[in-house]
Structure 1
Amino acid sequence: MPLKELAERRALLHRKSEADAVLRHAVSDLAIGPIAMVSSFGADSVVLLHMLSQIAPATPVLFVDTEMLFDATLTYQREVAEHLGLSDVRVVKPAREALLERDVDGVLHHFDPDACCALRKTEPLERALTGFGGWITGRKRIHGGERASLPLYEKSGSRIKVNPLATWTQARVADYITHHGLPRHPMVAGGFPSIGCQPCTTPAQSDEDPRAGRWRGQAKTECGIHFKDGAVMRRAS
């Protein structure tokens, strides 16, 4: 079955399903094949990670360490993985040879943030996804921009991408975390509703889009992992 048709069929099948049901089906879907969760261990990541720990804790979880993340994120990643009993967390890093060739001084983000994201995030993740037929993300429509119409299932290159939390509100995320007593990323309390690499992340005001602090002042809205039709996502001018 063509991937686009498979994604559309699964989205239709789960149009009224709860997130945990979407996740449970995804990790055992023979039509998709082997699947991994890709997690930033960011502001809201613990919700989906907790669901996975209850359903299939041995599922591979890919965490891309760009080597420019906040120390708080690196510590949080280790603590959450241990707390939830996730047994196959794979830390993915950029290739050393590529860094030496293309960003030896670590300043690429200043003059070409798209190239920096490709080097440190997109390319390492693509290598790590080799052999997987699909991957699970924590993206939500409330993030705005191109995510405002996010489907539960979508074709992404040669794989299926699953977004179990697509329809969730921020209030629902907060309620879930509180109800299950889950640890929050320590930077959330400091005004960071979306947390990426240190040079390209700033706090966001309560009346701003949750991702307003990412690449602030630039048209860029995505790191490149979530390209749409091969194009880098931009803010409307």
Structure 2
Amino acid sequence: MDAATRVEELTALHGTLEGAPLLAAVHRAFGGRVALVSSFGTESAVLLALAAEATPDFPVIFVNTGKLFGETLRYRDQLVTTLGLTDVREVGPTEDDLAAGDPKGMLFTQNYDACCHLRKTVPLDRALVGLDAWVTGRKRFQAATRAALPLFEAEGERIKINPLAAWDKDRLETEFTRRGLPRHPLEADGYLSIGCFTCTERVAPGADPRSGRWAGSAKTECGIHMTTIGTAR
């Protein structure tokens, strides 16, 4: 069955589910050949909590680019312990990758896209080998490029699942409060979307939450999510 047909099937079977029941259903549907990819950023705790509620051993992939904030790494450890996650897989660029593509560690100053590809896309592609689907934390309200985000989408031969696509900021905040989830320590300082420390800035009040990523450039995605699914389509 090709990915587009599988999307239709998943939508028919599980399109009305949400939260932990949805994640439990897709975990069963893919027989474990599915993982949740998390940045452990400002909004990540809600989706991780839902996955832990579905099953504590829901596989979680965390891409450590080697240039993440120390606060993000400590927050990851806090959430893993707090939520009881038992299968968190850290991946990142290999020594050979860096020696060939960024030996001085300064590629981000020359080419954002090349740096993201080397440090994030390539490691994730390796981690996804053998998986039929992956879960993302993307939401429609985050950016114009995500405004028409579906629950299930086909990308190549894999399925991407976006359980929080229809959630707005208020609903996320309510869930944080209801569950007593810890916040990313940089959020209170104005960092609303957090990637590498080299390319993340504070967000101005009322601005697009992702405007602090690669500020001053036309870049809006790291390269993992490149399909345009905004209102223009």
Question: Same-fold call, TM > 0.5?
Answer: yes
Deviation per CA, 1:168-215, whole angstroms, max 9, x where unpaired? 001100110111101110111111111001111101122111101111
* Contact residue 8 and residue 154 of structure 1 kept, 8 A: no
Structure 2: distance between partners of 1:124 and 1:152: 25
Aligned-pair distance for 1:91?
A: 0.8
The percent identity for this pair of structures is: 47
Contact 1:11 1:153 in 2 (8 A): yes
Write the distance in 2 (CA, Å) between the matches of 1:64 and 1:79. 17
Q: How many residues end up aligned between the 2 structures?
A: 231
Contact 2:3 2:156 in 1 (8 A): no
The aligned counterpart of 2:219 is 220
Residue 5 (str. 1) matches residue 12 (str. 2): no
Partner of 1:144: 143
8 Å contact 1:39–1:63 — kept in the other structure?
yes
1:33 CA displacement: 5.9
Within 1, Cα distance between the matches of 2:98 and 2:188? 33
Quote the residue 2:67 is aligned against.
Answer: 68
* Superposed CA offset, 1:108-167 (max 9, x none): 011111010010000000101111111001100011222111000011222111000000
2:81 matched to 1:86?
no
Question: Which sits farther off after the overlay, 13-22 or 146-155?
Answer: 13-22
The aligned counterpart of 1:55 is: 54
CA distance in 2, matches of 1:12, 1:179: 30
Q: 1:115, 1:125 → 2: CA distance?
A: 15
1:201 equivalent in structure 2: 200
CA contact (8 A) 2:7 2:154 kept: yes
Q: What are the residue-to-residue correspondences of 1:99-110 with 2, within 5 Å? A: 99-110=98-109
1:97 aligns to what? 96
Q: Note the C-alpha offset of 1:7.
A: 1.2
| Contact 1:20/1:164, CA 8 A, preserved across alignment | no
SS in 2 for 1:28: helix
- Does structure 2 retain, via aligned residues, the 8 Å contact 1:72–1:186? yes
Residue 23 of structure 1 aligns with an amino acid whose one-letter code is L
Does the 8 A contact of 2:21 with 2:54 survive in 1? no
Aligned mates of 2:164, 2:214 — CA distance in 1? 24
User: Which residue of structure 1 aligns with residue 24 of structure 2?
Assistant: 24
Is the 8 Å Cα contact of residues 65 and 92 (structure 1) preserved in structure 2? yes
> C-alpha displacement at 1:227, in angstroms?
1.7
Q: CA deviation at 1:16?
A: 3.3
Q: Which amino acid aligns with 2:178?
A: H
- What is the CA-CA distance between 1:20 and the residue it aligns to? 2.5
Write the distance in 2 (CA, Å) between the matches of 1:116 and 1:102.
Answer: 8
2:2–2:157: 8 Å Cα contact kept in structure 1? no
Residue 91 and residue 33 in structure 1: after superposition, are their counterparts in 2 closer, same or farther (change >3 A)? closer
Q: Any gaps of 5 or more consecutive residues in structure 2? A: none
TM-score where L is the length of structure 2: 0.94
Structure-2 change in CA distance of 1:54 and 1:123 (3 Å): same
CA–CA distance in 2 between the matches of 1:162 and 1:206? 30
Q: Distance in 2 between matches of 1:195 and 1:8?
A: 33
- Alpha-carbon separation, structure 2, partners of 1:153 and 1:33: 17
- TM-superposed CA distance for 1:19, in Å, is 2.6
